Amino acid sequence: MSLPPNDPRFDLGLTLTRRRFFARSAGTVGAALGTGALAEALGLPGAARTLAPRARRVIYMHMEGAPSQLDLYDHKPELRARFDQDLPDSIRQGQRLTGMTSGQSRFPVAPSIFKFSRYANRQDGVWLSELIPHTARLAHELCFVHSMRTEAINHEPGITFFQTGNQQPGRPSFGAWVSYGLGSANQNLPSFVVMITQGKGNMQALAARFWGSGFLPSEHQGCKLRAAGDPVLYLKDPPGVARPDRRRMLDLVAALNEREAERSLDPEVRARIAQAEMAYRMQMSVPELTDFSDEDARTLELYGPEVNVPGSFAANCLLARRLAERGVRFIQLYMRGWDQHGNLPGEIKLQCQAVDQPQAALLIDLKRRGLLDETLVLWGGEFGRTVYSQGELSTTNYGRDHHPRCFSVWMAGGGVAPGITYGKTDEYSYNVVENPLEVHDLHATLLHLLGFDHERLVYRHQGRDYRLTDVSGHVVRELLA
Amino acid sequence: MALPGPMNLDDLARLGRLHPLVLHLPIGLLLGALVLEALAARGKVARSALGAYLWLAAASAVVAASSGWILGHEEGYGGETLARHERLGIALAIASVLAALLHDPRGRAGVRLGLYRSALVVACVLLFPAGHLGSTLTHGDDWLDGPRAPRPRAEPRVEPDTLGAGLAQGAATGAPTAAPVDPPAPDATPSDVYGETIAPLLATYCTSCHGAQKRKGGLRLDSPEAILAGGEAGPVLAPGDPAASLFLVRARLPLEHEDHMPPEGKPQPGAEDLERLEAWVAAGAPFGRPGAGAAGEEQAATRAPSEPVRGAAADPAPTPPAEPAPPAEALAALTAAFVHAELLEPGRPELRVDVAAVARTFGDAEVAALLVPLAPFVAELSLARSAIGDSALERLAACRALRRLDLRATAVTSSGLAALARLPALEELNLAQTHLDEGAVEPLLALPGLRRLNLWEAGLSAEALARLRTRAELELVTGDEPLAEVLESEGELAFSSARPLPGAEAVPEALRPVNVTCPVSGSPVNPKYALVHTGSAGPRVIGFCCPNCPKEFWADPARFEDKLP
């Protein structure tokens, strides 16, 4: 097979260590070795998988700031009759509150001012808000969980918990675990990519460690694509550096690093070699990825008017589809600005306008390209919002504080049961009354769909085995197709 | 460590090998000299005879010391124990030479007699620590109180190349494997790598301290169960991951490192030995035979015909039929070309192959060169967005196990689809965004096992799709699937964002803000928060979203001028 000289595969041949190449070429292997060993003996990725996978990749849309389940998904029409009544103590049960509302003299019930409709799904329909008309029309594909729970009550630990399975920083993120477990399916792109959309309202800090690799080898950390300018910083060669020069420089550095790796046995040295090679290949693959000129007009139209605005949720959703069809394992979209402590009705409308059509378009686009079956889509915030108003309650305006005791997320594709709802909350959407789903359970279930036993996808660090689900987590069979 | 220059001669090396023999002479002679001196002091032995005897002892001590020095530098020993043994040996030789020199045949009392006797006693005393250290070097720490049975001496029987082929494994890849649940059962069948290579290596370098008699650190390395059990520091073996296997990691540490194993002064495994161990761990540390399939046969075939397979006669049972596995060369070529391959599910030799990373340059020639060699093992294949055409479909006929085929956005045509009829297992076919015509209907209807077919934007007319829909068991995706119906909607709400509650105070027209979004935050305006501002456009009512924004506005109204209509 002859390759054009600018083909990145040319260069890979130079850096594949000979030892590894010959070892791989050395005859055939019997399959009598244990689970996982076959993939490893064949030199294939994914040796940590112990189950037949239903999903090959994940698209995780994290709504940073925590969207209100009451105004989007968790329909409580009877609350309208309780407008401005005090939240009963029997419901609140003395639960801790954030410092933002713990000083409030009363907790007046704020029903949603948005109209809900019942959409056909594969059960007896699901009530969804007028804020998300496009997404609602895909109800037959979506799996709604109304009984999500978390331990954290503030954004920082809340997001950290969702992303890493632990409230304290330092553990590898979900995407890093998936990258570590599945390996890459496209050697020209990172296996974990992160994109961020700035929100329309109150935005919380977004730390890069939410997509960090913790103690996993650092090539598994998420690679952030920037919205403006170069998608990846410092990827372009500086003026005057030709590509062959860059190649020679990388070869020399890799040779030095290889010696250091053999001396110190530090896996981070090899991670550094791998990342430099990845960056070199991304010099070719990223510009091709982010160039929408090969998308037809109908597809662009599907994602809505903002699709050509770099960094918009629409543009990021389209990029997510392009990454999915290129085999990237974990694609994470952050949408900021859901932290609506005040002026919720106005802000949530703008947020929903930004995400509704693009996310629906992404699902439709994946579906018709035959990718939705093997792509696990997850949508959710780090917690929910309170039924009582934070600050002044009026007939047109209210705010909602953080609420970890119940909230809604949805999933689609990748072996998730389509068109169902799971779990129930009480009449105030304050406590879970049926089928609570903990964060560890969600992680365990998603890992299951990716082919992992969450108790066996482990990494030894500081003398013990760590896992995403820590010491907890159950696979919830009802959520599986 | 080789000596430089003429010292490296074979003769000298041979002298070094004599050390274990020669060293016993000074022991006997010096102790004998001590006894003779005691007798001579009482006049029972002639001193003239004792003098010759002392010279004999001194000479033997010198030969023993120098042969030991050569041996120590030749055999790759090292460390503190050796250095101390060496120093003591040399001191001993010097003391015996001094004793011989100082001995006075006439035995006159005086300083010289005292010095002579001291030298002799010193030489005899030195015998004990020097001898002990020498034994430690040769027989291990436990030579004195350890096991009485002789330890087996390892002679690895498998050549490194053959071993490599048998395991088909390279260096540590760091790729994750599932945490082990059940260790493979030990199985000492004739051609197992563990029994033939690994166990003897461990017996040579490790089990004198980590064995049945002496379990240093609670660790034994003399049986599969014991190796898997690990020691006080936890597991020492991580099958498949040399970098996580403590015993290998510690053996790889620099010799001077505190945690290096075997400890300084003990015989050290060579680089080749370590590579054997590493290859074995990387292959999943099998304790039985490695894959009784093609690898085993190939390994057997590479042996010289005259070399009998040990224990072959004792194991006449036929080997079970080999589980087929994809040829590693073909897989290596595939992954080297950046084509992704993974197992469809763990433990089964069925591949999912995806050319996404190189789709634009992946054409018919690549299908022939890279995919056809793996054809029987490919169960899922994505050629989406690739440069293939109809002739690739002809070549895919060899994929007898192919169940899912993705040809989305390729140049395949209706006439090429006929070749798909030769894929007996095909269940799912994606032809979205292709340029087909009516001629595609017949070949598609002819696919007996087809359950799922994607024809979104494939150029087929409504009539053609209708003909395909006659196949009841065929799920057809055309991209115009209906959206979820609205079953019911809530009536007008008593209050909503669109309609204020009846009776709510209407805003007088004159006080209506000129803007709909807050100039400071960009959020929608709440009419409650409005103020009159006289700017370049004259006096106007300006709305804000909250009580905080007007403060910021007042601080510098000119800044927000262009945010207003």
pLDDT digits (tens, 9 = 90+) for B178-209: 765 554 444 444 457 787 788 888 888 888 77
What is the rounded CA–CA span in Å between residue A125 and residue B192?
61
Element (H, E) at B34: helix B24-41
pLDDT classification of B68: cutoffs 50, 70, 90? confident
What is the rounded CA–CA span in Å between residue B247 and residue B262?
10
Residue by residue, what is the 3-state secondary structure of chain A? CCCCCCCHHHHHHHHCCHHHHHHHHCCCCCCCCCCCHHHHHCCCCCCCCCCCCCCCEEEEEEECCCCCHHHHCCCCHHHHHHCCCECCHHHHCCCCCCCCCCCCCCCEECCCCCCEEEECCCCCCEEEECCCHHHHCCHHHEEEEEEEECCCCCHHHHHHHHHHCCCCCCCCCHHHHHHHHHCCCCCCCCCEEEEEECCCCCCCCCCHHHHCCCCCCHHHCCEEECCCCCCCCCCCCCCCCCHHHHHHHHHHHHHHHHHHHHHHCCHHHHHHHHHHHHHHHHHHHHHHHHCHHHCCHHHHHHHCHHHHCCCCHHHHHHHHHHHHHCCCCEEEEEECCCCCCCCHHHHHHHHHHHHHHHHHHHHHHHHHCCCHHHEEEEEECCCEEEEEECCCCCCCCCCEEEECCCEEEEEECCCECCCEEECEECCCCCCEEECCEEHHHHHHHHHHHCCCCCCCCCEEECCEEECCCCCCCCCCHHHEC
- Mutation pick from B405, B457, B477, B490 vs chain A, by most beta carbons of A within 10 Å, is B490
Find residue A128's DSSP bridge partners.
A117
A162-176, A305-319, A397-411, B499-513: the lowest-pLDDT one: B499-513
pLDDT classification of A26: cutoffs 50, 70, 90? very low
What is the rounded CA–CA span in Å between residue B368 and residue B365?
5
Say whether A42 and B252 touch across the interface (CB within 8 A). Answer: no
Touching A: B residues 257-296, CB under 8 Å: 283-284, 286, 289-296
Q: What is the pLDDT of residue A4?
A: 53
pLDDT classification of B492: cutoffs 50, 70, 90? confident
pLDDT digits (tens, 9 = 90+) for A147-194: 999 999 999 999 999 999 999 999 999 999 999 999 989 999 999 999
Measured between CB atoms, does B91 come within 8 Å of chain A?
Answer: no
Q: What is the mean pLDDT of residues B430-447?
A: 93
Q: What is the pLDDT of residue A6?
A: 55
Measured between CB atoms, does B256 come within 8 Å of chain A?
Answer: no
Measured between CB atoms, does B487 come within 8 Å of chain A?
Answer: yes
pLDDT(B2) > 60: no
Q: What is the pLDDT of residue B354?
A: 95
pLDDT(B257) > 80: no
- Mutation pick from A3, A44, A70 vs chain B, by most beta carbons of B within 10 Å, is A44
pLDDT digits (tens, 9 = 90+) for B211-239: 765 667 778 888 887 888 888 777 888 87
Q: What is the mean pLDDT of residues B411-437?
A: 94
Q: What is the pLDDT of residue B37?
A: 87
Helix/strand/coil for B417: helix
Find the residue in A nearest to B165 (Cα): A26
Task: Kindly list the residues from chain A whose CB atom is less than 8 angstroms away from the CB atom of residue B249.
Answer: 265
What is the rounded CA–CA span in Å between residue A437 and residue A456?
21
pLDDT digits (tens, 9 = 90+) for B267-276: 788 888 888 8
Q: What is the pLDDT of residue B345?
A: 85
Q: What is the pLDDT of residue B146?
A: 58
pLDDT digits (tens, 9 = 90+) for B88-121: 999 999 999 998 888 887 777 788 888 888 999 9
Q: pTM of the entire structure?
A: 0.65
Q: What is the pLDDT of residue B304?
A: 37
pLDDT classification of B565: cutoffs 50, 70, 90? confident
Instruction: At A341, list the tokens.
Output: 């402590």
Q: What is the pLDDT of residue A112?
A: 94
Q: What is the pLDDT of residue B145?
A: 67
Find residue B234's DSSP bridge partners.
B231
Q: How many CB pairs under 8 A join A and B?
A: 324
Start-end of H helices in B140-198:
160-167, 193
Higher-scoring residue by pLDDT: B263, A460: A460
pLDDT classification of A375: cutoffs 50, 70, 90? very high
Q: What is the pLDDT of residue A7?
A: 55
Rank B206-215, B256-265, B281-290 by mean pLDDT and report only the highest: B256-265
pLDDT(A295) > 50: yes
Rank A353-367, B50-64, B475-489 by mean pLDDT and report only the highest: A353-367
User: Which residue has tokens 């769909």?
Assistant: A449
What is the rounded CA–CA span in Å between residue B441 and residue B426?
16
pLDDT classification of B509: cutoffs 50, 70, 90? low
CA angle at B246 for the pair A260 and B73, rounded to the nearest 5°:
70
Start-end of H helices in B216-348:
224-229, 246-252, 271-282, 294-302, 328-336
Burial class (CB in 10 A: 0-12, 13-18, 19+), B114: exposed
Asked if residue B262 has a cis previous peptide bond (ω within 30° of 0), the answer is yes
Q: What is the pLDDT of residue A356?
A: 96
Helix/strand/coil for B397: helix
Measured between CB atoms, does B357 come within 8 Å of chain A?
Answer: yes
Say whether A42 and B343 touch across the interface (CB within 8 A). Answer: yes
| Strands, E assignment, B462-525 | 475-477, 486-489
What is the rounded CA–CA span in Å between residue B132 and residue B135?
5
pLDDT classification of A36: cutoffs 50, 70, 90? low
pLDDT digits (tens, 9 = 90+) for B449-468: 999 999 999 999 999 999 99
Task: Kindly list the residues from chain A whose CB atom is less than 8 angstroms away from the CB atom of residue B324.
Answer: 31
Q: What is the pLDDT of residue B535?
A: 79
User: Tell me, what's the ipTM?
Assistant: 0.87
pLDDT digits (tens, 9 = 90+) for B151-167: 444 444 444 444 433 34
DSSP string for residues in B354-368: E-GGGGGG--HHHII
Task: Kindly list the residues from chain B whose CB atom is less than 8 angstroms away from the CB atom of residue A294.
Answer: none
